Amino acid sequence: MKTEMQIPEFLIEMSKQMNSDPSRCTAHPFWQVRCKRYLPTEQGYNESHIEVYGYEGLVYRSIEPLSELVDYLLDNHEEFCKSWAIEEHDEESDYSEVMYNYFDLDCDRLPEELKKICVQEVEEIVTTHLTQSASLAFIKRKQHDYPKLYTHVESAYWSPQLRELQDWIKSLTDNA
């Protein structure tokens, strides 16, 4: 004699959510929460931008206007700016204008205490969920621990076991 198993309420709720979730034109979607991270790389190898670090940490990212780096150099490394302007352009009197007009992060050196690092942007999968609402709840609960989080949909199409599980969960409320 078989005992009929009671379906847990969380599976019924998950079934309702999965049946109402947008598919984003994807067969058997599952929801990933992702963020973008920046990792050091070699120059010319998949770099997205350059970052400049000093003793206090990050000084500049090349995705910002170069004038921000020049402002920093003029404010914090005046002697370097003066000598750079003389060596590179024979100009001492108006070294700040020379810096704004000619300084190039790709070609020019930096003060010794600053380091230029090439970085690449990578997408990190933080967590995976079967429903959109679970992924959004995770973002709401944990956004403070990560760079900007966002959802991305992947497909379980090539995973027969996950497809079967999704179909079974969805069937719990198909006719409800």
Per-residue pLDDT of 82-116, as tens digits, reads 999 998 887 667 899 999 999 999 877 899 999 99
Residue 103 lies in a domain: yes
Give percent of the chain above pLDDT 70: 97
Query: Number of folded domains in the chain?
Result: 2
Q: What is the pTM of this model?
A: 0.74
Q: What is the dihedral of CA 162, 164, 168, 170, to 10 degrees?
A: 60
Q: What is the mean pLDDT of the chain?
A: 92
Residue 106 lies in a domain: yes
pLDDT (tens digit, 9 = 90+) per residue, 60-85? Answer: 999 999 999 999 999 999 999 999 99
Asked whether residue 67 falls in the same domain as residue 103, the answer is yes
Question: In this model, does residue 155 exceed pLDDT 70?
Answer: yes
Q: What domain range includes position 91? A: 56-112
pLDDT at 43: 87
- 106 class by beta-carbon count within 10 Å (0-12 exposed, 13-18 middle, 19+ buried): exposed
For residue 144 the two structure tokens come to: 């403070």
